[in-house]
Amino acid sequence: MLQGRRVLLAVTGGVAAYKSAYLARLLVEAGADVEVILTDSSQAFIGPQTFAAIVGRHPHTDLFHGHSVSPHTDLARWCELVVVAPATASTMGKIANGISSNLLTATVLATEVPVLFAPAMHTEMWEHPATQRNLSTLRSDGHHFVGPASGALAGGDAGIGRMAEPEQIMEAIAGILGGSDGSLRVLVTAGGTREPLDPVRFLGNRSSGKMGHAIADEAARRGYQVTLVTASDLAVVPSVKVVEVETAAEMLEAVSGIEADVAIMAAAVADFRPARSGDEKISRSEGLSSIELEPTPDVLASVIDRENRPYVVGFAAETGDLDRAVAKTMQKGVDLLVYNDVTEPGSGFGSDTNRVVIVDPEGNTDRWPLLGKREVAARLLDRVNADLSARG
């Protein structure tokens, strides 16, 4: 499942560290290449020799006394995923606030790969406002989380704060690394199309393209082969292949030439365009009593209708009832639909956050809280990976 994938397992100072040894065993059995970081506090619960015996190499424990001149940057560049399990409140707080006081925090701050946290702490610590603020910051920065669960805690206590079981963490790892061997081809559309009325004016919408660009960035960060067809001029990471378009017709033409395993159609494609577009600017003095409109080509339908169709995610920016989005999911035949009400605070065009509802082909809905668009992108790709894994 993870053959040859490079996973850095970082263990912090919680009693759940004993589970991390089993997690290391599961990673090795799945074919992963595993390096381990142990904090000083973690070694009060479990020793380096345990992990050395499991992964076949000695854990990294110090910034300054190893063989490497710069161990944090070496590890940060080597790995494809960092898994912090258990993740204590202290470690999460340091990373959220950019404090690189040990090998683990310095490595996380130096890496550009996904980071998965498996929090573990007492209920009171998990629910403390400071922990929740740090959690929100880490999520906004695009990091991933699995757990915590409710159950038995240290000292005979019980409640939320128990580290997720190693099997659950493995599922989360597979969701993140599922296609990041570079074989998964991902097509993303973004931005709002502009349909010209004359050389100066156009019909369009308020879409900024931020959501689609965040998806393209996250997909590229996971190692996918990403092509972004966009009507926006926002920057993207260098590995993304960008095709710039302006109109719905241009987007259709660009998309039709791109083969993909997953198509995430986040663009706000205009539904109508002027039936006639003048070659010269329409003069105010001449007046314009009406504009005749005609439908634009359906870019989403063109992808769904392919003989070798990809997994398709549609987007629906609406201003009303969720029932309309559920009906659209059935009608369009998408594998998932991402619905958001653009009239909700923080969920409109141009914002850095989004509040979405995921709708599946059976009409089931999953309401997500208000999140940064980077986190929406990460969660969406996790969901797509899970669906693809379930399909084999």
| Mean pLDDT along residues 13-26 | 92
19 burial (CB, 10 Å; 0-12 / 13-18 / 19+) is buried
| Tokens 């600017």 belong to residue | 281
Structural domains of the chain ordered from first start: 6-177 (3.40.50.1950), 185-391 (3.40.50.10300)
- Decide if 251 contacts 237 (C-beta within 8 A): no
| Mean pLDDT value across residues 27-32 | 88
pLDDT band at residue 30 under the 50/70/90 scheme? confident
User: What is the H or E stretch that residue 352 is in?
Assistant: none
C-alpha pair distances (Å), 263 with each of 22, 209, 246? 36, 16, 19
pLDDT tens digits, one per residue of 274-287 = 888 877 787 777 77
Among 102, 134, 205, 308, which one carries the catalytic annotation? 205
- 123-140 pLDDT, tens per residue? 888 989 999 889 888 887
pLDDT tens digits, 44-57 = 999 999 999 999 99
Residue 163 has pLDDT above 80, yes or no: yes
pLDDT band for 343, please (50, 70, 90 cuts).
confident
User: What local confidence, expressed as pLDDT, does residue 318 receive?
Assistant: 76
Closest CA to 177 of 224, 234, 217: 224
For the segment 18-35, the average pLDDT, to the nearest whole number, is 91
**Whether residue 205 lies in the annotated active site:** yes
Asked if 302 and 252 count as a contact pair (C-beta separation under 8 A), the reply is: yes
Q: What is the pLDDT of residue 179?
A: 47
Return the percentage of the chain with pLDDT > 70, whole number: 96
Tokens for 209, please give them.
Answer: 């393209």
Q: Which pLDDT band holds residue 189 (cuts at 50, 70, 90)?
A: very high
Span of 10-14, 217-221, 225-229, 355-359 with lowest mean pLDDT: 217-221
For the stretch 241-277, pLDDT in tens is 899 999 999 999 999 989 999 999 999 998 889 888 8
pLDDT band at residue 38, thresholds of 50, 70 and 90? very high
Q: What is the mean pLDDT of residues 370-389?
A: 88
Max CA-CA distance within the chain? Answer: 85
Mean per-residue pLDDT of the chain = 87
**pLDDT value, residue 267:** 94
User: Per-residue pLDDT for 181 more than 70?
Assistant: no
What is the secondary structure of 149-187 as a DSSP string?
Answer: EEEE-GGG-EEEEEPPPHHHHHHHHHHHHTTTTTT-EEE
The residue among 177 and 365 whose pLDDT is bigger is 365
**What pLDDT is attached to residue 71?**
85
Place 392 in a pLDDT band, splitting at 50, 70 and 90. Answer: low
Query: For residue 271, what pLDDT is reported?
Result: 84
Distance between the two ends of the chain, CA-based, in angstroms? Answer: 11
pLDDT at 6 over 60: yes
What are 294's two structure tokens?
């005609």
Contacts 24+ apart (CB under 8 A), 383-392: 383/336, 383/358, 384/262, 384/264, 384/311, 384/313, 384/336, 385/174, 385/175, 385/176, 385/178, 385/179, 386/175, 386/178, 387/311, 387/335, 387/336, 388/178, 388/179, 388/262, 388/311, 389/174, 389/175, 389/178
Q: Give the pLDDT of residue 180.
A: 47
Element spanning 256, H or E: helix 248-256
Per-residue pLDDT, averaged over 362-386, amounts to 89
The answer, yes or no, to whether residue 1 has pLDDT greater than 70, is no
CA-wise closest residue to 222 among 255, 259, 185: 185
Check residue 311 and give its pLDDT: 96
Q: Is the pLDDT of residue 27 over 80?
A: yes
In a 10 Å sphere around its CB, with 0-12 CB exposed, 13-18 middle and 19+ buried, how is residue 100 labelled?
Answer: middle
- Residue 132 burial by Cβ neighbours in a 10 Å radius (0-12, 13-18, 19+): exposed
Mean pLDDT to the nearest integer, 30-59: 92
Segment 372-385 mean pLDDT: 89
Write out pLDDT tens, residues 291-342: 888 999 999 999 999 988 999 999 988 777 777 777 777 778 899 999 988 7
Of 380, 391, 201, 392, residue with least CA distance to 280: 201
